[in-house]
Structures are given as C-alpha cells and as structure tokens.
Amino acid sequence: KVTLTIDNIKVEVPKEYTILEAAKAVGIDIPTLCYMKSVNEVGACRVCLVELQGARGLQASCVHPVAEGMVIKTNTKKVRDARKATVELILSNHNRECLTCYRNKNCELQSLAEELNISEIPFEGEKTGGQIDALSHSIVRDPSKCILCGRCVNVCRDVQKIGILDFTNRGFKTEVSPAFNKSMDEVPCIYCGQCIVACPVAALREKEDIERVWDAIEDPNVHVVVQTAPAVRAALGEEFGLPIGTRVTGKMVAALKRLGFDKVYDTNFGADLTIMEEGHELLGRIQNGGKLPMITSCSPGWIRFCEFNYPEFLDNLSSCKSPHQMVGAIVKSYYAEKQNIDPKKIFTVSIMPCTSKKTESSRSEMNVKGLRDVDAVLTTRELAKMIKQARINFTALEDEKFDQDLMGEYTGAGVIFGATGGVMEAALRTVADVLEGKDLENIEYNAVRGLEGIKEAEVTLGGNTIRIAVAHGTAMAAKLLDMVKTGEKEYHFIEIMGCSGGCVTGGGQPQVSAKVKMDCDLRLERAKALYEEDTVMEARKSHKNEMVQKLYADFLGKPNSHKAHELLHTHYVA
Ligand code: HC1
Ligand code: SF4
C-alpha cells in the first residue's frame, strides 16, 4: 500500500492504483472521456489531468500510477483551464448538431462540456469526418461525430479479438474506421455492437428500423406480432431512469400493448422450443455418433465469427435457428393457421438486446415459403425511443401479461437464455430429465453461471458423462475452440455467446457511461434480474412448457421432425 494526499485528503491505496482510482476511493470525481475501465486506459484525451506536486506539467490521472507521498490537486484553476481547453479543441472539430443527434442527452462529451461550463468554442476551423457508412443491416458509423478516443478500437481488438476498427491516416486526418476505409458491410465484422456500447458519443449506432414498425402498426390490413428477447426486460428500465438490474417485464408488456402491437409474445417461448430441438439434436448426435462437440447457435455474432474465422467448426454448430427466428417462423405458419390469418398479412417484430440480430433476420435462409421469419428487429434502445415518442409514462405503467394464447407460455429455462451459461443450463435441465427418465428436482447448474471467461463442467446423467463448456465474448470463444482444435480439450456440448456476459450486455442494450461502469458490472446486475425471474416461474424446464407440447402435438409432430426441420433449422456458410 502507499499513502498519498489528494486535495488535502490523505488516502491509502494499493500500489497498483492509478491516481484516478485513488481519487475515486475518497470520493473525488475526476472527469474522463477516453477512459473505460479495463478496456481503454491510455491517457489519450487528457481530460483527466491533475496537478502533481514536483512534476513538470499536468498528468493524466487515468494512467499515472500512485506513489508514496504524492501530493495531488484535482481542482485548481490550471487544471480547470487545461481540461476546458482540451474539450474545446475536441468540440471545435466535432459535428455539434446535438439537438438532432442520436445521443442527445445521453452523450459523454455533451455532459462534459456542460460540466466544464463551455459556452463557446474559441477556435473554429476545418473539420475532419468523412461520409456516413450505413451499408450494413446492423451498424451505422458517422466519422463526423468521432472523437478518436479509441474505446471502440480497443473493445473490438482486445475484448473481442476481432480488430475491425483502427486508427487510419495521420495527424489532423486521423480517423477510426475499418482498414482501407471499407464499409462495415465489406469486412468480417460480426455486428456484435460492442463498439456501439463503448462509444461515448454517436460515432457508432445501430441501423434504426423504427419507422417501418410504426408503418406496420398503423396499417389496418397488417397484423403485427411482437416478441421480446429475455435480456430486454433486464435493461429497458435503465432508459427510464430505473436502477441497473431492475426487471421490467410487466411494464414492458404494458408499453408494447399501448404502442399498438396486435400480439405481444415472449421470445422465451422460442427459447423453450429451441431447447426441445437442440436437446434432441444433442442426444441424437451422442447416440448416433454425430459430430461433436455440438455448439449452440443462438448468438448471430458468434455465428458470423465462426463462419469467418473457424469454418472448420461449422458442422459442429447446432442446426437450430435462434429462438426469435423460430418464433417468427411459427407465427407465420402455426399461428397464422390457427388464427386464420393470411401469413402474408402478418408482420413480425423482434425486440432484441443485439445489433447482430438485424443482420441475422435478413439472411436469405431465414424464411418460411418465401416469407421472412422476422420482418423487423429493433434494439432495446429503439423500443425505448418508441415508448418516448408515444409519450408513455413508462415507470407509472401497471404490469401487464404477455398474450396467453397459442405461444403465450414460457418457463424459467427460457428466461435465463439471456445470461452467459443460460442456454447450457436450460438444455441440461431437459436433457437430464430425458436421460434420467424422471423429473429431477435439482435444476440449478452453478458451474455454468457467472463471469469466468470459459466455464467447464462434467455432468453424469443416466450413466452417461457429458462434458460441457461455456464461453462468452469472441476472444474466449477463440481460446476455447483452439483448445478443442489441438485436442487439448474434448467436450460434448459447448455454449458460445458473442458478447461477454451474454445477451444482457449485447450491443443493442442501453448505453451506460464509463463513469457508471467503473463501479458496476452490468453483466452481473442485469443477469441477476433474469435469474430472479427464473426462480419465480412455476415451470422452470423447457419440456414442461405446455404450449410447446401442444405445438408438437398439433403441428410439428415431434422434435427434429421433417416439419420442424423445415421451419426451425438452418445451415451455415463459410
Ligand atoms: Fe438472446 Fe436468444 S438469448 S440470443 O442472447 O437465444 O439477442 O436476450 O433473444 O433469439 O431467447 C439475444 C437475449 C435472445 C434468441 C433467446
Ligand atoms: Fe468490432 Fe463488433 Fe464493432 Fe464489428 S460490431 S466493429 S466486430 S466491436
């Protein structure tokens, strides 16, 4: 430990701390901009400058290590002037159309400018920033908003180990973009959107599809069915000022009904259905000598990662479509038939915590007899925008229930899909009952919960030992697959999610400032909300979902039947 003085307060902290962390330990809040804990600690923007006695010039506190006896001042005229000048310089080369900006009122640069009391920009000159890139289905990049903080670069390169974005050109012409200034559409980007949630401004955002959804709702000849992913309920409340980790399932449903959707279902029904299909696929592969390990296929970011980087594992992927695609396909077939609605007049909307789902739903294979499984995918953020546009007082809404007919039931197993390890746990709950031939009581698999990058376990079921692994974030996926490739590890079943933490921290979830993220691990808080919902559900195993059983009895036959394959399974391309 070392002792130092910050703003006349003595503080004792571990010697590995930076000045920024030491100040925080005694409640002194130093502003930052490029800094993002564990992701971007580079001291590039110089907003976190402090005065260090005896040092020449001001020091960037986010990278400067503490030392015994240091005397630091964080709030002198010199410090304030320097921070202000730095932010003024950034603003002088920034597209300042704040009123019409995607991040208006939720922008870290805007808040900083306000805090520093910046009322005019003394230097005005040439501006950099090229064309907006909106070619992909998932992500829009606007260089005129970029402040070159490097957070997206580091998330993509170090956390995801993909490296799509980097600094290009030099000096004043520096830009962050894919190599050779290509479009995000032309590079092996997996559209995980982790760069979006890392961005402090609006240089990266999702490709919005709100207007098409409003149009469908407005059209009296169109029957609009909406479904919500498990992880959305764990984060939507943040957009309305509720604490991180507040579960807002009932309010979300109430809001969707007020927005005018004809039917409100939960993707969890599809998650339960996925477990039936995937569980039987796994049992089939184990019993018939099929390709192992089988790997889950719900996360479209992970699927793209596999297609681009590990094509040798394509046959290992479960052939199951992801749960929301399954729901879409079942709505346009079974539901349409039962409700006697022409499937051509049905418009399906998925509310997802994920930006990659937009691209997934546009894949040509994702259709039923030429009709799209899912017509539009909106992120959690886009749903929040619609609710705000409709002037719904979200926090005051009374809880409402999902529509209860046909596809209106779900189990706790479906809910936990949204957290890393959840798909595995849900699958085990069903596979265990099948192999043991009874209704097991112990259904919580703690070995696959939590934030360890790679989780492994061995479970013995009905005399069979099943070796499983779970990885989240593509860096961890790569590490795990490399071990499988060399033969160092052998498994029967692997769950992989493209984002660290699973869907709860997907690229379509509410943006949370780096400052808040310093103290709060979103992955844990949001996952808690899902595990909580699981424990209050009456049925917690997918095969106990009676509406899924009825779907098989009345329509699909049995899991992995010909019809199930036609509607619920897909293929992958290298
Ligand atoms: Fe997910 Fe899934 S869990 S992929 O993370 O399998 O997006 O939440 O909807 O489809 O159910 C996302 C979440 C989601 C699918 C399910
Ligand atoms: Fe990288 Fe994901 Fe952003 Fe693509 S979406 S640039 S893969 S972080």
Kindly state if the Cβ of 159 falls inside 6 Å of ligand 2: no
Helix 210-218, helix 380-389: angle, nearest 10: 50
Q: What is the DSSP letter of 459?
A: E
Q: What is the ipTM of this complex?
A: 0.95
Question: What H or E segment, with its residue span, contains residue 413?
Answer: helix 412-415
Q: What is the structure's pLDDT at 115?
A: 95
Q: What is the DSSP letter of 318?
A: -
List, in order, residues 6 or more apart from 217 with CB less than 8 Å away: 224, 259, 260, 261
In one-letter notation, the amino acid at residue 311 is P
Kindly state if the Cβ of 233 falls inside 6 Å of ligand 1: no
CA dihedral over 358, 359, 362, 368, signed as positive or negative: negative
Structure tokens, 408: 């209106």
Q: What is the structure's pLDDT at 172?
A: 83
Q: What is the number of the ligand 1 atom nearest to the C-alpha of 504?
A: 8
Q: What is the DSSP letter of 150?
A: -
Kindly state if the Cβ of 256 falls inside 6 Å of ligand 1: no
- Give dist(CA 461, CA 464) in Å, integer: 5
Q: What is the pLDDT along the chain (574 residues), one digit of tens a residue?
A: 999 999 999 999 999 999 999 999 999 999 999 999 999 999 999 999 999 999 999 999 999 999 999 999 999 999 999 999 999 999 999 999 999 999 999 999 999 999 999 999 887 777 777 799 999 999 999 999 999 999 999 999 999 999 999 999 888 889 999 999 999 999 999 999 999 999 999 999 999 999 999 999 999 999 999 999 999 999 999 999 999 999 999 999 999 999 999 999 999 999 999 999 999 999 999 999 999 999 999 999 999 999 999 999 999 999 999 999 999 999 999 999 999 999 999 999 999 999 999 999 999 999 989 999 999 999 999 999 999 999 999 999 999 999 999 999 999 999 999 999 999 999 999 999 999 999 999 899 999 999 999 999 999 988 889 999 999 999 999 999 999 999 999 999 999 999 999 999 999 999 999 999 999 999 999 999 999 999 999 999 999 999 999 999 999 999 999 999 999 999 998 8
Q: What is the structure's pLDDT at 129?
A: 72
- Give dist(CA 32, CA 419) in Å, integer: 30
- Give dist(CA 71, CA 10) in Å, integer: 9
Q: What is the structure's pLDDT at 163?
A: 97
- Give dist(CA 536, CA 411) in Å, integer: 10
Q: What is the structure's pLDDT at 55?
A: 92
Question: What H or E segment, with its residue span, contains residue 430?
Answer: helix 422-436
Ligand approaching nearest to the C-alpha of 183:
2
Ligand 2 center to residue 444 CA distance, Å? 33
Structure tokens, 388: 């705000």
Bridge partner list, 11: 4
- Quickly tell me which residue has 């490296």 as its tokens: 163
- Give dist(CA 509, CA 357) in Å, integer: 13
- Quickly tell me which residue has 């910046």 as its tokens: 118
Kindly state if the Cβ of 224 falls inside 6 Å of ligand 2: no
- Give dist(CA 84, CA 67) in Å, integer: 27
Catalytic center residues = 278, 281, 298, 318, 357, 360, 365, 503
Kindly state if the Cβ of 192 falls inside 6 Å of ligand 2: yes
Ligand approaching nearest to the C-alpha of 278:
1
Ligand 1 center to residue 517 CA distance, Å? 23
SS3 content of the chain, % helix, strand, coil (to 5): 45, 15, 40
- pTM reported for the whole predicted model: 0.97
- Give dist(CA 71, CA 31) in Å, integer: 19
Kindly state if the Cβ of 507 falls inside 6 Å of ligand 1: no
- Give dist(CA 325, CA 322) in Å, integer: 5
Phi and psi for 474 in degrees, rounded to 5?
Answer: -70, -25
Ligand 2 center to residue 260 CA distance, Å? 33
Look at residues 145, 147, 29 and name the one whose alpha carbon lies nearest to residue 86: 147
Bridge partner list, 29: none
Question: What H or E segment, with its residue span, contains residue 226?
Answer: strand 223-228
Question: What H or E segment, with its residue span, contains residue 266?
Answer: strand 263-266
Q: Cα Rg for the chain, rounded, in angstroms?
A: 25
- Give dist(CA 220, CA 215) in Å, integer: 10
